[in-house]
Chains A and B, each alone.
Chain A
């Protein structure tokens, strides 16, 4: 009971700390959000041949929102880890009696909460400005959460690698850019060449974007998505990512402790 309370407290503590730090960086965060918004506006304009057509934008918008989530989560998780290793606060975190697994979960939760606030804010402003109307289906939330699970598995892999090799900022940057172009955020993967489509299917958010579009834009039910296998594949895909992520993270954590590199940069 005490451990549960302690763990919950530790997780909430992470959320609180993250929000405080984001608030302290508010100007930077705001600038990034504006930049992300402008990229969407620019990309949509060019993709539509020099005009804005809200009805054509909905599909791209959904994919872009998923990428936006992925971008913030990947970049902030890896950057936070590196800066904390450098500052020694990562070691202080590892010196607490709370199991590190729970602290990692706490950090995931903290990133989820802060990212949701930022993405929701930007998405609503963009939707209002561009007149994009997204049909609301609760099933979309389920699909979105499943996609996030896979994304977090992917982030755990990157964070684990960061614990051992430290300088992974460039890799994180490369990955988030790859996710923008190769997961169907802007262009459906069905329009990719076969070999590229196969690669794209292995990335963490690709299947999520496909199912999300079917559910949100075409009104497909979860039962139907399950029956045609797309939701099954998404579930398996996300589960696989999160399991691999967890194993890689724990393995890398063990190596970092053996090498004494938790605080080295």
Chain B
């Protein structure tokens, strides 16, 4: 089977659903009618709260979980029908597990996984050496990985995922449990993979600052459904249009929380900052009217650039409140 996808699509999910459990009442719909395309050569951020369905989706891409319905194509290869060809395209580090043999050394792990993925000989050894040198593990290549720090073990796991030089790298919460320094190393590596080596990276993370720094494209899931699927710049632009920061003088007690639904209240230099997305001008004026009613001195009203975390929280909260129209409009307005 040849590559039937467009040249710029690395992964395509088509009406993908996964329901766990057999009995009606115990069913859990982990992924619900998910359709999206991952552009090649980009860092694709897959975000969502715990239980949103990210890991199940990643595992379905890897052929580890069988979808209830739908289809996955990896560089044109159907994961269900052309498993071998599809998996040749992928290297993955999965969430919450070691992914490597702690009893083996870093070198032995790389050689073992290289062989499993069809690499051998001097080419494999050269690649293993390059990866270990780049990840600053070369000097400890012969030590058992159980003696490594968590960060070093994660580096080995990433190196193992990359040993066969896959075109697509799936990283499911790669910085989970890592300290700041180790997280930074992983982050630099992800950036390098995409920018210098042209790989497609699918990244799930709860560190939204990292996602904002690295990702070209963001998909946000909630309860198995896709809320948003947009290039990061476009997503931020949409919210830039409607994200406001209102600065007033006073104390938090004076700002009755119920008055400013949907806005985040913080204290900064004895002032109160009310910030959040305000989609319509009328709503902005309502908030200003409330401020006047409370007799709080207004210091400034600014349209500001939100960060991804604020956008994410806004989208998730909107969804929780049942206001699906706006969020789904975002995912469909592509």
Binding site for B on A (CB under 8 A): 6, 9-10, 12-13, 16-17, 20-21, 24-25, 86-89, 91-99, 103, 254, 257-260, 262-263
Could you say which of B88-96, B208-216, B256-264 contacts chain A? B88-96
Contact among A16, A86, A93, A259 for B20, CB-based, below 8 A: A259
Given contacts A10-B116, A16-B112, A88 and B65 within 8 Å (CB-CB): no
Q: Is the CB of B104 within 8 A of A21?
A: yes
Q: Is the CB of B65 within 8 A of A87?
A: no
Given contacts A17-B112, A20-B108, A259-B20, A97 and B85 within 8 Å (CB-CB): yes
Query: Is B59 an interface position by the 8 A CB rule?
Result: yes
Residue in chain B with minimal CB distance to A22: B103
- Which residues of B lie under 8 Å from residue A96 when comparing CB positions? 87, 116-118
**Nearest CB of A to B9, in Å:** 21
**25 A-B contacts, Cβ less than 8 Å apart?**
A17-B101, A17-B108, A17-B112, A24-B104, A87-B98, A87-B101, A88-B98, A89-B97, A89-B99, A89-B101, A91-B59, A91-B64, A91-B99, A92-B92, A92-B116, A92-B160, A94-B63, A94-B64, A95-B92, A96-B116, A97-B84, A260-B18, A260-B64, A260-B65, A263-B94
- Which residues of B lie under 8 Å from residue A17 when comparing CB positions? 101, 104, 108, 112
- Which residues of A lie under 8 Å from residue B56 when comparing CB positions? 260
Q: Is the CB of B117 within 8 A of A21?
A: no
Query: Is B148 an interface position by the 8 A CB rule?
Result: no
Contact among A9, A93, A95, A103 for B120, CB-based, below 8 A: A9
Closest 8 CB pairs of A and B: A88-B97, A97-B84, A13-B115, A260-B65, A96-B116, A87-B98, A257-B66, A24-B103
Q: Is the CB of A10 within 8 A of B101?
A: no
**Nearest CB of B to A91, in Å:** 5
**B119-155, CB under 8 A of A: which get 1 and which 0?**
0100000000000000000000000100000000000
